[in-house]
Structure 1
């Protein structure tokens, strides 16, 4: 006999099976959320990301964009600019050490491919805009970049 028949629930227009299924899914989602807060689950998530997911094309890009959209504290990519041959180039800080930033320079209008470089921290200026705003500037072939950099020049001049 199905599990749903043991519940004294009667909702007109919806079968017991549907109601019980929805309740069980909600309970399962809640328990999964509680489990994901545990230390072993966090270690598993970190292992999964560093060993498997980073090898999937576009994963880092999607993770950075979703992290930004969800206003997460774990900001894996940070918008920045670098002066190269007299031109300000917009990029993302993707990693850092004590003295260096690892930078990703996305291509326009498709920011999912580009080049990677390491620069001294003193050569890089962090931009006061979000990852999604930076992606929008890149997709629009630089529209809006001048205003961001102009405001940045007033706040934080590049060291000579």
Structure 2
């Protein structure tokens, strides 16, 4: 009974970690649309009566505001302002930095080193995982997700020789885990392609030069 309760609790938490960000995003979107309703109301007459003009225009305006903010954050001034706000306010919130990196990975920011996909050596197996942080001595903090709920799992600290970072997107690695390992061959191929290969000509030359 205790094991069943623990299993149920872990799965509920994993589901909440997926649902809560989506719920909050929708809540903020609806709140923003409601706040902008009065602003777009004078323009509703240009649309047909059968169309929910106020809601539609509010949604478009909210999306445009999000686009402008996102584009501004890509500039040097925007990045500087964001860093000041994050350091002064958001980074004091426990777990903010980690989940920020996660969302940036999902958005395709290849510069992020947190939540970088990897294959790690655990016992005699290669295990899909994500790099959470890198120690000064070269070791890694690794998160090994469970299947098929990638946001729940176990944390390991491994030597660099047992960690193989992959040049694949976060979403590709996430899909492999959520699909019970289907597509893992692509992760292995990415790891093998990243390994340095000896030039056959150089190897032959070295062998021939031995007296």
Mark yes or no: TM-score above 0.5. yes
Match for 1:103 among 139, 142, 145? Answer: 142
| Residue in 2 that maps onto 1:43 | 84
* Structure 1 residue 77 corresponds to structure 2 residue 118: no
The gaps in structure 1 that reach 5 residues or longer are 1-9
**SS of equivalent residue, structure 2 residue 85:** helix
TM-score (normalised: structure 1):
0.66
Give deviations 1:122-142, integer Å, cap 9, x for gaps: 211011211111110000010
Q: 1:142 to 1:39 in 2, by over 3 A?
A: same
Match for 1:68 among 105, 117, 132? Answer: 105
Output the CA distance in 2 between the equivalents of 1:106 and 1:155.
23
| Cα displacement (A) at 1:68 | 2.5
* Contact preservation (8 Å) 1:94, 1:101: yes
Match for 1:54 among 76, 80, 95? Answer: 95
The gaps in structure 2 that reach 5 residues or longer are 1-41, 47-53, 197-211
| Residue in 1 that maps onto 2:183 | 144
| Residue in 1 that maps onto 2:195 | 156
| Cα displacement (A) at 1:117 | 1.0
Structure-to-structure mapping, 1:14-25, within 5 angstroms: none
Q: Is the strand fraction higher in 1 or 2?
A: 1
When the two structures are aligned, how many residues end up with a matched partner? 139
Give deviations 1:27-55, integer Å, cap 9, x for gaps: 8x968957x72645422213444321517
**SS of equivalent residue, structure 1 residue 80:** strand
Give deviations 1:3-60, integer Å, cap 9, x for gaps: xxxxxxx96825xxx8xxx8x9878x968957x72645422213444321517xxx84
Output the CA distance in 2 between the equivalents of 1:111 and 1:43.
32
Q: Is the helix fraction higher in 1 or 2?
A: 2
Cα RMSD of the aligned pairs, angstroms, is 3.7
* Contact preservation (8 Å) 1:61, 1:112: no
Structure-to-structure mapping, 1:120-135, within 5 angstroms: 120-135=159-174
